[in-house]
């Protein structure tokens, strides 16, 4: 056996924590791209759904800054059009923004370590930002799960359990404790990267951690 191939450095797989909210427009861009990019960099993903609303409220905002600040909001949607063209991602500005997605988020938390999490997150984001559907409804979440061939009724029941509801509140509190103030946010170890435009930097940093480990 090749000693280099079996060394701790070569077998180590860096991890990126991906903190996101389905109501976040820039999280949409990252959700649609991260799985393929992480695989290309040899980095595994830790999916970390959290509720951005409570974080904003703790910071003194009763809504998204993109709503509260008219000029910023106008810029952001123009920027979203440009970014979606760049990445080849469909975009329909939601008629409700930010759209409440509590059930969808609870399902994401339940499935965070399951094989279907990436496909589920992409589907929910497409329903929100491409199809302008109400991703907070049982009907739409059930539809997303059904299309993925998953047992929608059981997953939704589990997601709505008291224990899972508490876990989402705790995960949101953990986000605030880590200093997260927006979404998407990425962590590689203790290094924080904020915003879709820092996804590539976060992945490159994660990839560099493998090379930095002693053989």
Catalytic site positions: 24
DSSP codes joined into one string, 86-113? HHT------SSSSPP-HHHHHHHHHTTT
The H-or-E segment that residue 31 falls in is helix 25-41
Residue 98: is the preceding peptide bond cis (ω within 30°)? yes
Burial of 11 (0-12, 13-18, 19+ CB in 10 A): exposed
Tell me the C-alpha distance between 192 and 16, whole Å: 10
């Amino acid at each position: 056996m090749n000693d280099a191939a079996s060394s701790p450095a070569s077998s180590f797989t860096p991890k990126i924590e991906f903190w996101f909210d389905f109501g976040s427009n820039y999280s949409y861009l990252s959700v649609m791209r991260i799985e393929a990019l992480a695989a290309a960099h040899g980095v595994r993903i830790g999916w970390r759904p959290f509720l951005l609303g409570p974080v904003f409220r703790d910071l003194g905002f009763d809504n998204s800054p993109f709503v509260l600040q008219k000029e910023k909001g106008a810029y952001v949607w123009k920027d979203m059009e440009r970014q979606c063209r760049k990445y080849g991602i469909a975009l329909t500005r939601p008629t409700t923004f930010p759209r409440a997605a509590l059930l969808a988020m609870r399902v994401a938390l339940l499935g965070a370590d399951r094989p279907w999490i990436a496909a589920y997150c992409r589907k929910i984001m497409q329903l929100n930002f491409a199809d302008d559907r109400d991703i907070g409804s049982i009907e739409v979440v059930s539809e997303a799960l059904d299309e993925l061939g998953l047992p929608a009724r059981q997953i939704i029941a589990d997601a709505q359990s008291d224990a899972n509801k508490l876990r989402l509140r705790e995960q949101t509190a953990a986000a605030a404790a880590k200093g997260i103030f927006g979404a998407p946010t990425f962590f590689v170890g203790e290094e924080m990267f904020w915003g879709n435009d820092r996804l590539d930097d976060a992945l490159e940093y994660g990839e560099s951690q493998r090379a930095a480990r002693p053989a």
